[in-house]
Structure 1
């Protein structure tokens, strides 16, 4: 019963799609306007199905609402789940030749070059791709590219910590006033969080982690959970560095970026599947995502010609204490990833609690 699944799991090692025969890396370069692609998408049926990495089902509701408002008559059918689960399901669809997803937007950056080499992605350059930082895209085939910068900052609830001042370093989190105040995602349950701890400990050593454990942090699953919990007035936790709230995370929440070790940032990466059932609708979405209209609204743009609006921050490539290209290299080194995962699992145990995406009954 597991024969098909086993074969799908081996796709990245030995299986080559029959479509790779005669594979051409030359991309289709889009020259149409958004309105012209919109018209083609309507004629196609007006639906685009997207799988987006995340750990809270409602995380992309804002994107869905903005896209459907911008393009009336087009439905953005978006599913949010953990990237580490979605990529395996994509492999199964590819193996079975039963593609029902149009667009994939994932944290598992190591998957995209593999899928491109296997001929699974559409070689397609949306309008504006030339302005995307070279390190965030496939330079030859244009089969994948970042669409928004995700990152972890230090975040805290100023109402719960009225006298904390600015928390400017990871060492600050070891101060006595933060004992029992920290809420953190298990590093052995999320590769981006794992990389965050890895970068910190490269500079501050394992002693920092030992001291962090003495602060009695609350460990949770999901990177949306810490920010949700510290935002709650009746929860005791007030500080995290493993949650994404953007550059303007909301009322009563302050953020800062550390000055003693790098923080994690990466381009959340998108691609259209080569045999997507709704290719015109997928093209509409990807052109919209890379447009100045959309890129001007994200915290950090993947485009070199758009800076964060209303902030003092430079573009992501010139932001101190982060390297947005480093996470991709880390994700490709699965030996190091697994070794680190087991280091933390030995110290913390396996991740406890249900995934935030498991439905309650």
Structure 2
């Protein structure tokens, strides 16, 4: 099979053997204690959990911290949000130094988990409801598993435009010139993958036409949505920000094109300072009470959001495609430099410290 630089079918075929998820789940012993019982054990341990969560705004997991601490009195969830590509390197340094200070990680860098498992630094632990997690989202030995679903969508501020955005070619309409805001694809792997998917379908002519629209390039995937909402910004639309469910006005999912989705994957460190606290957190994250607040669930037994299918059956996305693509790091690096040559290096402060 001959492959062009945008032939994702070839890339996924070559990478699938090292994909960070597997559907061949072995017989692992699932947690049998109740949340209240684990809560007591976590309190006896010190009542603290340290979580490193991938993201690009410091307050993105504030709602998780609030919900967890309200549900489990006496517990403190110390959550640090940073770009996953920085978290993984910092964790590697702690591992190398023999000084692991983090209990739980939930990151976008899906390719890291098989490596960490092979190094023996992840705890093989199956929370309650592990058996209900979709098979392609979890490691056979419960070293890591998908805990929530992330997805990009088409987002526009209906107070700024009356134009319907249903598919990626709609972003090329004349009325959107100088009004698009997009995350640098060479700064975020999920956005990079999204651009590659679009160009694979619509060709390089689509990308050239997009550049002619003079979009505003920014760091972070929350930044476009923030600018679109702002009355002080001329930005109107994006396809590089996460969606919330149910879909608000102006938010759509393409049906002819493909959108990126993936299971944001988590693990507990084998040398976690607070293993019982980490177990409490992971059991809570997979619990029915939490999963039913998250839009798409990672669990087979819970229903899809109204009007949508379960994410692994949803039209317009391949939930395991991103994980396979991420495992070919040489290709990812080549793609970053291709876009860098077209649009330049990512400019601006870290999205965690800017004021957007």
SS at match of 2:326: helix
In 2, Cα distance between equivalents of 1:249 and 1:229: 18
SS at match of 2:312: helix
In 1, Cα distance between equivalents of 2:304 and 2:67: 19
In 2, Cα distance between equivalents of 1:312 and 1:37: 36
In 2, Cα distance between equivalents of 1:358 and 1:305: 39
SS at match of 1:216: coil
1:210 aligned partner: 208
Instruction: Check whether the contact 2:30–2:130 (CA below 8 A) recurs between aligned residues.
Output: no
1:268 aligned partner: 264
In 1, Cα distance between equivalents of 2:156 and 2:93: 41
- Whether 1:244 aligns to 2:242 is yes
Instruction: Check whether the contact 2:149–2:263 (CA below 8 A) recurs between aligned residues.
Output: yes
SS at match of 2:282: helix
Shift of 1:249: 6.2
- Whether 1:280 aligns to 2:276 is yes
Hey, which bits of structure 1, 4+ residues long, moved more than 3 A? 25-28
Shift of 1:39: 0.8
Instruction: Check whether the contact 1:149–1:302 (CA below 8 A) recurs between aligned residues.
Output: yes
Instruction: Check whether the contact 1:27–1:143 (CA below 8 A) recurs between aligned residues.
Output: no
1:72 aligned partner: 73
Q: 1:13-35, CA deviations, whole angstroms, 9 ceiling, x for partnerless residues?
A: xxxxxxxxxxxx98553111111
Q: 1:290-339, CA deviations, whole angstroms, 9 ceiling, x for partnerless residues?
A: 01110000021111111234x21111011101001000011100111011
Shift of 1:221: 0.2
Counting matched residue pairs gives 330
- Whether 1:324 aligns to 2:280 is no
- Whether 1:292 aligns to 2:298 is no
Q: 1:89-131, CA deviations, whole angstroms, 9 ceiling, x for partnerless residues?
A: 1111111110110000000000001101110100000000111
1:183 aligned partner: 181
Taking only aligned residues, the RMSD between alpha carbons, in angstroms, comes to 1.4
Structure 2 unaligned regions, length at least 5: 1-25
Structure 1 unaligned regions, length at least 5: 1-24
In 2, Cα distance between equivalents of 1:326 and 1:26: 26
In 1, Cα distance between equivalents of 2:354 and 2:232: 24
In 1, Cα distance between equivalents of 2:172 and 2:238: 12
In 2, Cα distance between equivalents of 1:101 and 1:302: 24
Distance change (3 Å), C-alpha of 1:305 and 1:28: closer
In 2, Cα distance between equivalents of 1:229 and 1:299: 24
Shift of 1:244: 1.0
In 1, Cα distance between equivalents of 2:104 and 2:244: 23
